[in-house]
A and B are shown apart, each in its own frame.
Chain A
Amino acid sequence: MNAQSTRFTVLQRALHWLMAVGILAMLFIGVGMVSTVMPTYLPLLEAHKTLGIVILLLALLRLAVRFVYGAPALPASMPAPMKLAAHLSHYGLYALMIAMPLLGWAMLSAGAYPVVLYGGIRLPSILPQNAGLHALLWQAHVWLAFAFFALILMHLAAGLFHALIRRDGVFESMAPVARPREGTTPAE
């Protein structure tokens, strides 16, 4: 793909929506599990660690795909500050989808916890045991999780703003399926 195309590639769109569902699930599982002492705490924690590592792998794949295929240019009608905001927020989203799982893994490592995923898969420790480091990483994981959710809400609002109000094709560039819009002929 190049800057002239109007849509992300199928692979990029598939990854975007798959990961959107996965990341939202992670945020909900995260806050849900740390607020319960019921037996579901354990399977939720296991799902959280497993899905989190899957998201890390998908995010790395996604970045690679992004470097290869690029992204459609934002419409010329978008004011420059709005474009800047779009780009910065996308950097933030990419950074968080890689940082969050690494922080989770590193925090468990620094806490001398074994990192065991679904199916008994054991990951190596990526940091030596250290109480102060564990606490720092834990706080970062928690606060960045809330920042991530806030950024996703803004991103969602912006996406819908493009789709419903600006109607400038930005939403369609990432929409899961191409859908002829009112007022445009299918042939366009």
Chain B
Amino acid sequence: MAQSPPPTSRAAIGSLVLIAGVVAAAAGAFAYTGGFLSPERLTPPKLVGALAPPGGPALGHRRNHAKGICFTGTFQSNGQGAALSKAPQLAAGSYPVVGRFNLGTPDPNAPDATVRVRGLGLQITAGGQVWRAAMIDPPFFPVATPDAFYALLEASHSKDPDAMKGFIAGHPEFATFAGWAGSAPFMASYAEDAFNSLNAFLFTNAAGTTSAVRWSFRPQAQLEPLSPADFAKLGPNHLETDIAERVAGAPQRWTLVLTVADPGDPTDDPSKAWPAGRRSVEAGTLVVEKVEDERDGPCRDINFDPTLLPDGIAVSDDPFPAARSAAYARSYNLRTAEWKDYPYQAPAKPAASTAQP
């Protein structure tokens, strides 16, 4: 091989310093990119960590919406949604569904009446593609941005008595949510709740036309709105026994309604509902046919990440889906790594439960 004369010892020392410098610069750039040098960066571990109740997270469970029950069924598409999106799920037909009814709390044992927000995790499979979604029953989200959601979690866990006051002053949209939380009745059953995407997504049809859409699964069951006190009387685990009994008796149904934004409607802020009267399309019916315990049910080890979308549906300028995807992956990684702790046995003193969306 080509050999050159060795360098003088001074040149060799210079070269060693150069090599050390190159290696250190590469390692430094790596550490910077990974956020190891930026403790102020809002990272998925930080955001997910902030969800934990004071007693620590329930190991092995979802870091939020931890209390829930699995179901399977079908989505019966009437084909009307194809006008908005070429997603195979919206072509006329019947497609298998796996889902999860849940409560917006990090405590898997929280009594039902202590939790204000209810959710629905859903996967519809069609044409070899999945459409996953995680929706909640309030008509709007408490905050406008993921950063504000983090600030809300921090304030709600803060020991500073003025923390919440300060948060509300800085986030006027929260008052709208607090108004809903304080006045909306509690439905007697998951079967009576409407579940809303809140986030806007871009639907593209076969002709290539794109529209911003939010959607809702609206209950077909008779509504029985209850006061918080009357709902609490039904018992701490009423919702799960109720839905299991109802579905054992007859399948339960929700109508999928797609709502299209008018130009100028906010698509990047789920705390702002769109005005009434927007074009809407009834795209089909969710039919829940079988309910199973989360413990050995088909929904437990699924991440209902709202960015796992079929062709014809994509994220919009709404910043939430990306933040949720990053956070849900973190939560999923943690809980699957803790599979031996499931179902979680809380240490002697039970952790206080808090209600969060």
With beta carbons under 8 angstroms apart, the residue of A37, A112, A122, A182 that contacts B4 is A182
A34 touches B128 (CB 8 A): no
Q: A114-B308, A122-B129, A160-B18 are in contact. Are A135 and B326 (CB under 8 A)?
A: no
A interface residue numbers (CB < 8 A to B): 6, 27-28, 31-42, 45, 72-73, 75, 77, 111-114, 116, 120, 122, 129-132, 134-135, 138-139, 149, 153, 156-157, 160-161, 164-170, 172-173, 181-184, 188
Size of the chain B interface, CB-CB below 8 angstroms: 54
A166 to B12, CA, bound (A): 9
State whether A39 touches B29 (Cβ < 8 A).
no
Q: How far apart sit A161 and B47, CA to CA, in the bound complex (Å)?
A: 43
B308 cross-chain contacts in A, Cβ below 8 A: 113-114, 116
Contact B146 A37 (CB under 8 A): yes
Distance between Cα atoms of A168 and B311 in the complex (Å) = 55
Which of A42, A135, A181 is in CB contact (< 8 Å) with B325?
A42
How many Å lie between the Cα of A114 and that of B146 in the bound state? 25
Q: From residue 6 to 36 of chain B, which have CB atoms closer than 8 A to chain A?
A: 6-7, 12, 15-16, 18-20, 22-23, 26-27, 29-30, 33-35
Q: How far is the CA of A170 from the CA of B7 in the complex (A)?
A: 16
Task: Please report B residues at the A interface, Cβ cutoff 8 Å.
Answer: 1-7, 12, 15-16, 18-20, 22-23, 26-27, 29-30, 33-35, 41-44, 47, 128-130, 146, 300-303, 305, 307-308, 311, 315, 317, 319, 321-323, 325-327, 332-333, 335-337, 339
How far is the CB of B212 from the nearest CB of chain A, in Å? 15
Could you tell me if A172 and B18 are in contact, using CB atoms closer than 8 angstroms? no
The answer to whether B1 touches A35 (Cβ under 8 A) is no
Question: Which B residues lie within 8 Å of A77 (CB)?
Answer: 3
Closest to A110 in B: B336
Contact B19 A160 (CB under 8 A): yes
Q: How far is the CB of B341 from chain A (nearest CB, A)?
A: 11
Contact check, A42 vs B311: say whether CB atoms are below 8 A apart. no
Among A27, A35, A184, point to the contact of B2 (Cβ < 8 A): A184
Residues of B within 8 Å of A139, CB to CB, are 337
Is B130 a contact of A134 with CB atoms below 8 Å?
no
Docked Cα-Cα span, A168 to B1, in Å, equals: 7
Least distance between B117 CB and chain A CB atoms (Å) = 20
Q: Which of A45, A72, A134, A183 contacts B1 (CB 8 A)?
A: A72
Contact of A122 with B128 in the complex, beta carbons under 8 Å: yes
Residues in chain A near residue B323, CB distance under 8 A? 37-38, 41
Interfacial chain B residues near A184, Cβ < 8 Å: 2, 4
A106 to chain B, nearest CB (A): 14
The answer for the CA separation of A165 and B17 in the assembled complex, in Å, is 11
**CB nearest to A166 among chain B residues:** B6
* In the complex, residue of chain A having the shortest beta-carbon distance to the beta carbon of B337: A135
Option from A28, A45, A166, A170 in Cβ contact (under 8 Å) with B33:
A28
Rounded to whole Å, the gap between the CB of B198 and the closest CB of chain A is: 17
Judge whether A165 and B41 touch: CB under 8 Å: no
Nearest Cβ in chain A — how far from B309, in angstroms? 9
Asked if A165 contacts B322 (CB within 8 A), the reply is no
Q: Are B1 and A165 in contact (CB under 8 A)?
A: no
Task: Say whether B16 contacts A156, CB under 8 Å.
Answer: no
Which residues of chain B are within 8 angstroms of A111 by Cβ–Cβ distance? 301, 303, 332, 336
Q: Is there an interface contact between B2 and A41, defined as CB atoms closer than 8 Å?
A: no
Q: Is the CB of B19 within 8 A of A131?
A: no
A37 contact from B29, B44, B305, Cβ within 8 A:
B44
- B336 engages A134 (CB within 8 Å): yes
Query: Across the interface, do A36 and B41 meet the contact criterion of CB distance under 8 Å?
Result: yes
